[in-house]
Amino acid sequence: MMAMSLGDDTLLCNYPKCRAKLSGFAWVTSCSHVFCDQHGSGEFSRSPAICPACSTALSGKLDIVRTELSPTEEYKAMVLAGLRPDIVLDISSRALAFWSYQVHQERMYQEYSLSRADTQLKQMEKVLNQQNQSRELELTAMRGEITSLKKVMEEYKRKYSEVSERLMERNRQYQKLQGLYDSLRLRNMVVGTGERDMPQQHGNRDLSIAMGRQATPQRSPQFLSPAPLGDSRFFSCLEADGAKTFFQFSSPARDKNQPFINKH
């Protein structure tokens, strides 16, 4: 199946995995295939021999020939010597047909390789286009997400600004209330100090009022009209305690033991 390189006159090994340039000795088959000395000696040592390129059975004595690719001048001079011209031409035409087949096979192989490479290229381009489309979709989705996140960020910025303004207003109110609280606390401290000084004054005043109430008679004397007998007294009766204390009023400011009327 494999053939020669089109750029020069060097044959290539037709073994599928080799394709090495041939030099020295080569194995040639009747099915117009040629193999390097390594693969030819390995493949054709078994019986029956099978062509590795086309799987043709090679059972004839001359179906496989090991030939020298660069023969000596003596070999060239003697290999066709003594043969009739028609035989020489027949041998030469067969050799040229073998060479033409190798060139044709190489061209077919190159076309096949080109077609396979083109198919792989188209598949890779298809996969690449699919990946590009997928990336474009992902990129579009990411751009939309970025736009949405920007909107959310702007909304958060607006809310943060509002909250900051509210916080500043609350701080101002707090400072104002703190000032009012401090002033009220100082005022209460002053009032509390005054109230602690007032009980003593209230106590003295209450004591004076109590003493005055104790010296005042519980009942007022009863004024009666003159008796039928012409009694000259103005008061008919007085209670015992009232009579004793009626003329003994004392002022809270005076001494308790000092009589209210001074004797001359």
Residues 179-237 pLDDT 10s: 999 999 998 988 877 666 665 555 566 656 656 555 555 554 444 444 444 444 444 44
pLDDT tens digits, one per residue of 208-224: 665 655 555 555 444 44
How high is the pLDDT of residue 1?
44
Phi and psi, residue 250, nearest 5°: -130, 140
How many angstroms separate the Cα of 223 from the Cα of each of 107, 220, 227?
Answer: 166, 9, 12
Percent pLDDT > 90 in the chain is 45
How high is the pLDDT of residue 199?
59
Report the chain's C-alpha Rg in angstroms: 72
Rounded to two decimals, what is the model's pTM?
A: 0.47
How high is the pLDDT of residue 209?
62
pLDDT tens digits, one per residue of 81-136: 999 999 999 999 999 999 999 999 888 988 999 999 999 999 999 999 999 999 99
What one-letter code names the amino acid at 245?
T
Residue 164's pLDDT band (cuts 50, 70, 90): very high
DSSP assignment string, 7-22: TSS--B--STTT-PBP
Write out the CATH class of domain 11-70.
alpha beta
d(C-alpha 102, C-alpha 12), whole Å? 9
Residue 146, phi-psi category: left (phi > 0), alpha (psi -120 to 50), beta (remainder): alpha
How high is the pLDDT of residue 135?
93
Could you tell me the residue ranges of all domains in the chain? Answer: 11-70
pLDDT tens digits, one per residue of 27-59: 999 999 999 999 998 888 888 889 998 888 888
230: DSSP letter = -
How high is the pLDDT of residue 193?
77
Look-up of token digits 């040592």: 45
Please give the structure tokens belonging to residue 123.
């598949």
- Say if residue 247's pLDDT is above 50: no
Convert 199-220 to b/e letters by CB count within 10 Å (16 or more is b): eeeeeeeeeeeeeeeeeebeee
Percent pLDDT > 70 in the chain is 70
Look-up of token digits 């080569």: 26
- Say if residue 250's pLDDT is above 80: no
Which helix (H) or strand (E) segment holds residue 107: the answer is: helix 85-215
Q: How large is the average pLDDT for residues 165-179? A: 94
Question: Is 260 or 194 the better-scoring residue by pLDDT?
Answer: 194
Please give the structure tokens belonging to residue 98.
């073998």
- Which residues have CB under 8 Å from 209's CB, separation 6+? 252
Q: How large is the average pLDDT for residues 138-156? A: 94
- Which residues have CB under 8 Å from 88's CB, separation 6+? 80
d(C-alpha 248, C-alpha 258), whole Å? 10
Please give the structure tokens belonging to residue 37.
């000395």
How high is the pLDDT of residue 139?
93
DSSP assignment string, 139-188: HHHHHHHHHHHHHHHHHHHHHHHHHHHHHHHHHHHHHHHHHHHHHHHHHH
Angle ∠(80,84,87) on CA atoms, nearest 5: 75
- Say if residue 245's pLDDT is above 50: no
Look-up of token digits 């041939």: 22
